[in-house]
Amino acid sequence: MDPVTQAALGAAVTRLVKPNASAGAAFFLGAVGGMAPDLDVLIRSSSDSLLAIEYHRHFTHSLAFIPLGGLLVAGILWPLFRKRMPWRELYLLVTIGFATHGLLDACTSYGTLLFWPFSSERIAWSNIAIVDPIYTGLLIAGCLVSLKSASTNKLKALFAMSCAYLVLGLIQRLDAESFAAKELQRQNVKEVFAISAKPTVLNLWLWRVNYSRPGLHCVMAVYNPFWDETKVYPGACTKSVSLDEAKLIANEDSRLFKDIRRFQWFSQGVVGEVEGRENFLSDIRYSILPNSLEPMWGIEIDPENPDLGAKYQFTRETNREKFKIFTDMLKGQGSFVSPTPP
């Protein structure tokens, strides 16, 4: 999630776990520890554009790395705090904050290597968007009220509300997936698999639903508010690109094939072609609009030069028209007629 939320969660949990520590120190060190794993964004290469996405939310976000990560951050901060507190307390406060980061990121849909080095699976519980002001606001409010009081009771209450919000997100996700499955069944769409709902930014009631069919990746949007009936915004389908199909693009020993395989892993296998854009593979999991196939990022490939590898590109474009469409969808406006996918 965003750095502000990571800092607020790290600070709140550190204060709750160590209520006897100085509130200021607990909040500051917990916040620094909570943000530190995202320093993996510094891992990048001018000759390998996929390196950055390969190592973001990688080993620094794993549960196994927490003790070492806390040690590294505490070591950097030790010269500033060695006269204020013992090393053991500094290390503990920073490590508590550090421990919260990967777990929170796993609640989003991006994918986090929570169990590295024992597993390379990208964990994505998809129960909260990468930016959610309600969740962040609860954590910040808890930290602020706790700073003004020796008691942590109000912080506990607001933290409990933030946890309940994550549970609500999980319930909403499962409900969106269930409704999408019933809608596809109603349309008599055959051979549907891998239905997966992802929250859209800032809310828990408008969901992007990805699903697969033989040779296709498809999307729709599910409007699932607490105050109204659930409805579907129609989407579309595009040709999927599997690893078997990638073997037809490039030899398995080539750099290009290996890069396509890396992108497949990063995208959790949801890779497809983009209409009107030749030699470009998109991460179908995401788009600016929840029922659109317009890519936010992908890889440019050159089958004629497989030793050059792939080039990772951001392609997202926002404008007033898309913003209005999205806000209308948040309000449940627009057409809900759902044609049968191809």
pLDDT score, position 339: 47
Write the Ramachandran bin of 57: left for phi over 0, alpha for psi from -120 to 50, otherwise beta: left
Instruction: Please name the residues in contact with 311: beta carbons below 8 A apart, sequence gap of 6 or more.
Output: 49, 299, 300, 301
pLDDT score, position 317: 80
pLDDT score, position 334: 83
pLDDT score, position 266: 97
CA angle (206 as vertex; 109, 178 as ends), nearest 5: 75
What is the rounded distance in angstroms from the CA atom of residue 107 to the CA atom of residue 173?
A: 11
DSSP string, 182-215: HHHHHTT--S-EEEEEEEPTT-SSEEEEEEEETT
> In the structure encoding, which two tokens stand for residue 186, read together?
């109603």
Low-confidence stretches of the chain (pLDDT < 70) are 337-342
What is the rounded distance in angstroms from the CA atom of residue 29 to the CA atom of residue 334?
A: 47
Write the Ramachandran bin of 335: left for phi over 0, alpha for psi from -120 to 50, otherwise beta: beta
Can you give the pTM of this predicted structure?
Answer: 0.94
Q: Cα Rg for the chain, rounded, in angstroms?
A: 22
Tell whether omega for the bond before 341 is within 30 degrees of 0, i.e. cis: no
Provide the residue ranges of all domains of the chain, joining segments of one domain with +: 3-169, 187-330
pLDDT score, position 154: 96
